[in-house]
Chain A
Amino acid sequence: DTAVSQTPKYLVTQMGNDKSIKCEQNLGHDTMYWYKQDSKKFLKIMFSYNNKELIINETVPNRFSPKSPDKAHLNLHINSLELGDSAVYFCASSQDLNGELFFGEGSRLTVL
């Protein structure tokens, strides 16, 4: 069983569309994250949830909205997609705030 799973793995869409990426973890962790990795491999945290509560919200356009229906899920919805949103988005989880992060395999978003 995959510990942290994301869907879809690949997403190609047009500018202006709205899309979602789903993430689920079966590790029983309390904290989940979204990271963005750009074309230069730079990784930047976007959001972090602890027990369904938002605890980290970096300077991210409000077109990005995370939703955590329960501790095991953290979805990312993106409105009005722009070319600059093209990246690989990684979901991750950890048992607590200073613990090891377990990453999903990433969702590669391409905006045309």
Chain B
Amino acid sequence: AQSVTQLGSHVSVSEGALVLLRCNYSSSVPPYLFWYVQYPNQGLQLLLKYTTGATLVKGINGFEAEFKKSETSFHLTKPSAHMSDAAEYFCAVSDVDSSYKLIFGSGTRLLVRP
């Protein structure tokens, strides 16, 4: 069965610092991997996704993530944090064996200090 683990329920960085949000997944077949962002009192919005092909995926707002099969990871990074990046971030996985049902991690709250 698929699962997603997000290390760290809260991550705090200074404005301008590197953002690194960790995500590890388990899937018995090639996964589809996603990062979603949720701003307060809003629904989730897709940041980026990996399906096939290039393992480094670029998304909106300067975020990117790298699929590393050997590490079963899909960590999210951004070189320089902005105050507007403060939000809840969710990693998610789906695959053909589960009828592409999207399984979410528990989320990581990103706090950006001025």
Contacts and interface: CB of A to CB of B under 8 A. Distances in A.
Interface size class on chain A is 20 to 34
Interface in B32-70: 32, 34, 36, 38, 41-46, 49, 51
Contacts of A48: 101
A106 B88 contact: no
Given A41-B88, A42-B107, A98 B51 contact: yes
Nearest to A90: B43
Nearest to A91: B43
B41 A105 contact: yes
Interface string B77-114: 00000000000101000101001111110110000000
A112 interface: no
B43 A45 contact: no
Contacts of A92: 43-44
Given A43-B90, A45-B101, A105 B32 contact: no
**Which of A4, A43, A100, A106: most chain B CB closer than 10 A?**
A43
Contact of A101 (B38, B44, B51, B106): B44
A102 B104 CA distance: 15
Nearest to A9: B41
**Which of A41, A42, A104: most chain B CB closer than 10 A?**
A41
A55 interface: yes
A56 B101 contact: yes
A103 interface: yes
A98 B96 CA distance: 8
Interface string A66-107: 000000000000000000000000101000011011111110
Interface of B: 32, 34, 36, 38, 41-46, 49, 51, 88, 90, 94, 96, 99-104, 106-107
16 contacts: A42-B104, A42-B107, A43-B104, A45-B103, A90-B43, A92-B43, A98-B51, A98-B100, A100-B49, A101-B46, A102-B46, A103-B43, A103-B44, A104-B43, A105-B41, A106-B41
Interface of A: 4, 40-45, 48, 55-56, 90, 92, 97-98, 100-106
